[in-house]
């Protein structure tokens, strides 16, 4: 799949430019633009992209080839230049929702697109500007204001790229081209839980907060102060108090089981809801990704492009011995809640034998 991109370039008798994925658009790599975005994007297209021999909706597009250093696959980053003079509706609905309706209408806007894995060897079509399955789709007006329209990593359908890798790339592009402001409508979810709520309670900020995105535009009368106050209140709730409040509810047994399960796994005390959720997300990050979970970018957040990306503190893999111990600790408290004709001690002994 990755070789077909380079083969297509060879058929057109041109030598493709290939850049490293994880260092692309770092300061000075490959360019160091100093002007406003409308000038920087021109330099970017001239030095970092190749003009394609076809158009999308009669709009020119460029392709930048990026090689993933760890896995050695090559992926395309497309840039489409959209001239609003050719559009029946030149106004931007995303700007209107964000509260930027007082901005002058920009003459041009640029779409940055990385298609889904199985579309890397295919040319972009006219419907791809409205497609929400892209790994990355960002749009920036020539005045420097833009929108992150969608992002889909491993849990969103990609087999090769994680959401964090894609966001790091997007953050570097925005920083290098000196974008003024980027807005994103955060509708990310884990199963039936809004990811902005889950991460907000666990870490004090949304998933996009790793790259500096903050609460921007109030919705349904919710202000920045009230939103952050509610998140802090939920995170500070004590687990013992929560279990006491639900002692007469039908879900009391499940709450106790879940809390006890993760408290036995944790090496540090889990006192509050924030402690519990942050530990659960840490354990989840080490487990295999669920294929049916949804990740995409209706709660708006907006921020100036972050200068420093937060790295994953759990990137180092544990040793096999520690993994075995963790699996046994995970199994041991669970056997007490399973219906079985075997006694708990025999199940634990069987688990120890299986681990060895």
Contacts 24+ apart (CB under 8 A), 66-72: 66/18, 66/19, 66/20, 66/21, 66/24, 66/169, 67/18, 67/19, 67/20, 67/21, 68/21, 68/22, 68/160, 68/161, 69/20, 69/21, 69/22, 71/160, 72/2
Contact 296, 132 (CB under 8 A): yes
How many other C-beta atoms lie within 10 A of the C-beta of residue 15? Answer: 9
**Total-model pTM:** 0.75
Nearest one of 185, 194, 205 to 302, comparing CA atoms: 185
Question: Could you give the CA distance from residue 130 to residue 267 in angstroms, rounded to a whole number?
Answer: 47
Task: Say what the pLDDT of residue 7 is.
Answer: 55
Any idea where the domains of the chain sit in the sequence? 2-222+289-310, 318-356
Cis link prior to 30 (omega < 30° from 0)?
Answer: yes
- The answer to whether the Cα torsion of 290, 292, 298, 304 is positive or negative is positive
Contact 207, 196 (CB under 8 A): yes
* Tokens 């509810």 sit on residue: 249
Task: Say what the pLDDT of residue 322 is.
Answer: 43
Nearest one of 146, 79, 167 to 304, comparing CA atoms: 146
Question: Could you give the CA distance from residue 209 to residue 200 in angstroms, rounded to a whole number?
Answer: 9
Task: Say what the pLDDT of residue 300 is.
Answer: 46
For 68-209, strand residue ranges (E) read: 74-83, 108-114, 136-141, 145-151, 181-186, 189-190, 193-194
Task: Say what the pLDDT of residue 312 is.
Answer: 41
Contact 304, 145 (CB under 8 A): no
pLDDT in tens, the chain (356 residues): 444 555 555 545 556 789 999 999 999 889 999 999 999 999 999 999 999 999 999 999 999 999 998 888 999 999 999 998 888 788 898 898 888 888 888 899 999 999 999 889 899 999 999 998 999 999 999 999 999 999 999 878 889 999 999 999 999 999 999 999 999 988 777 777 788 888 999 998 888 999 989 887 766 678 888 888 999 999 999 999 999 888 888 888 898 999 999 999 998 999 999 999 999 988 876 655 554 433 444 344 444 333 333 334 333 444 444 444 444 444 444 444 444 445 555 545 555 544 44
Tokens, residue 337: 């809640």
Element (H, E) at 51: strand 50-51
Question: Could you give the CA distance from residue 313 to residue 300 in angstroms, rounded to a whole number?
Answer: 27
């Amino acid at each position: 799949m990755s070789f077909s991109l380079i083969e297509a370039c060879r058929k057109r008798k041109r030598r493709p430019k290939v850049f490293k994925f994880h260092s692309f658009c770092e300061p000075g790599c490959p360019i160091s633009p100093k002007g406003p975005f409308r000038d920087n994007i021109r330099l970017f297209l001239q030095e970092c992209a190749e003009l394609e021999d076809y158009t999308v909706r009669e709009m020119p597009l460029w392709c930048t080839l990026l090689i993933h250093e760890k896995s050695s696959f090559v992926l395309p980053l497309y840039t489409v230049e959209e001239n609003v003079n050719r559009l029946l509706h030149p106004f931007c609905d995303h700007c209107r929702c964000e509260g930027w309706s007082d901005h002058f209408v920009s003459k041009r806007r640029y779409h940055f697109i990385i298609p889904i894995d199985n579309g890397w060897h295919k040319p972009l079509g006219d419907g791809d500007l409205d497609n929400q399955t892209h790994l990355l789709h960002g749009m920036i007006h020539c005045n420097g204001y833009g929108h992150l329209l969608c992002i889909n990593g491993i849990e969103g359908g990609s087999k090769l790229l994680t959401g964090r890798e894609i966001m790091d790339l997007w953050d570097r592009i925005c920083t290098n081209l000196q974008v003024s402001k980027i807005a994103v409508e955060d509708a990310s979810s884990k199963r039936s839980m809004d990811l902005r709520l889950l991460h907000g309670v666990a870490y004090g900020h949304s998933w996009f907060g790793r790259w500096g995105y903050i609460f921007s535009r109030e919705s349904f009368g919710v202000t920045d102060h009230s939103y952050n106050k509610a998140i802090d209140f939920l995170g500070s709730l004590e687990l013992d108090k929560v279990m006491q409040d639900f002692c007469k509810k039908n879900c009391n047994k499940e709450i106790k089981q879940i809390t006890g399960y993760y408290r036995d796994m944790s090496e540090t005390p889990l006192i509050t809801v924030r402690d519990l959720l942050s530990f659960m997300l840490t354990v989840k990050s080490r487990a295999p990704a669920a294929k049916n979970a949804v990740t995409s970018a209706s709660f708006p957040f907006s921020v100036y492009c972050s200068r420093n990306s937060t790295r994953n503190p759990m990137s180092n893999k544990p040793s096999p011995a520690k993994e075995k111990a963790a699996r046994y600790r995970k199994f041991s408290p669970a056997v007490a809640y399973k219906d079985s004709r075997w006694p708990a001690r025999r199940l634990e002994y069987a688990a120890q034998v299986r681990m060895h």
